[in-house]
Amino acid sequence: MAEENCHRGVQGHCGRGCLKPIGVFDSGVGGLSILKALRSQLPAEDFVYLADAGFAPYGERGDDYVIERTRVVVDRLLRAHQVKALVIACNTATAAAVHLVRAQYPGLPLVGVEPALKPAVALSKTRRIGVIGTRGTLTSAKVRTLHDSLKDQADFVFVPCDGLADAIQNDDAGQITQLSARYMQALGSFGGEEGQIDTLVLGCTHYPFAQHYLAAHAGENVKMIETGEPVARQTRRLLEAAGLLKAEGEGSVTLLTTGSQQALEAAARRWLGI
């Protein structure tokens, strides 16, 4: 689901501000799954995507580390690229730092991501839901609060997936296969019968790129929920409300990283076709 912050402007009017790009960042390549949905929903917009791969992974680090990296990346996107809006395409960074970014930049249209527990409750028929994500995300206060608000409506099984985001980041098929099998087994039984998991929340933006590995252990009838489309719709709504939507023209993507530019560009070609 999407976390939001919005500075409302004059609807329907697009001034010079609407021509500025939208900033998107993640600890690595996982946020490309969000960028894919954003480009589909907002084809005229320009995007600056920053992968903080040189300081990844975030998921097994403490909050202080993630907060500091988030501040550095956000400052770079605002100062060097004058982004008009920001999408924090990382569950771990959203959980640790989105409230601080919102407080520091109250006029910035801001969208974060969080595991889609609420949509999962609406979809599940067995009322048993699996949730996978990084340890940092699943043990965060934000996710605990979200879970507490929903625990009377469904039974959630949380499994932190140490190393999986990093394996996807490195395109290590052998490690992805091994870790997917381990963590899917840890979740328990999948299916449509009472006591079985029929809905799986992908609580890290890297995980959609491993969906076929995960599905091999879940079965074809298990629903997998990611956050790209809801985040893209929320971003569009906030831009419209702030009078910053660029509705015409052909959008562009600028790819930046604190790690390997070659690896980021290869991932964008593989998963986005750019």
Looking at the annotation, which residues are catalytic? 90, 204
How far is residue 50's CA from residue 76's CA, in Å, rounded to a whole number? 9
3-state DSSP assignment of residue 89: coil
Rg (CA), the chain: 18
Query: Could you tell me which residues come within 8 angstroms of residue 223 by beta carbon, excluding any fewer than 6 positions away?
Result: 123, 124, 198, 199, 200
- Closest-CA residue to 4 (of 117, 113, 83, 78): 113
How far is residue 239's CA from residue 46's CA, in Å, rounded to a whole number? 13
Task: Count CA atoms within 13 Å of residue 200 on its CB side.
Answer: 31
Question: Which string of b and e fits 206-229 if b means at least 16 CB within 10 Å?
Answer: bbbbbbebbbebbeeebbbbbbbe
Q: Take residue 43 and report the two structure tokens written for it.
A: 């084809």
- What is the enclosing helix (H) or strand (E) of 55? none
Residue in this structure with the two tokens 């959203």, named with its chain if needed:
94
From the DSSP assignment, how many helices (H) and strands (E) are in the chain?
A: 11, 10
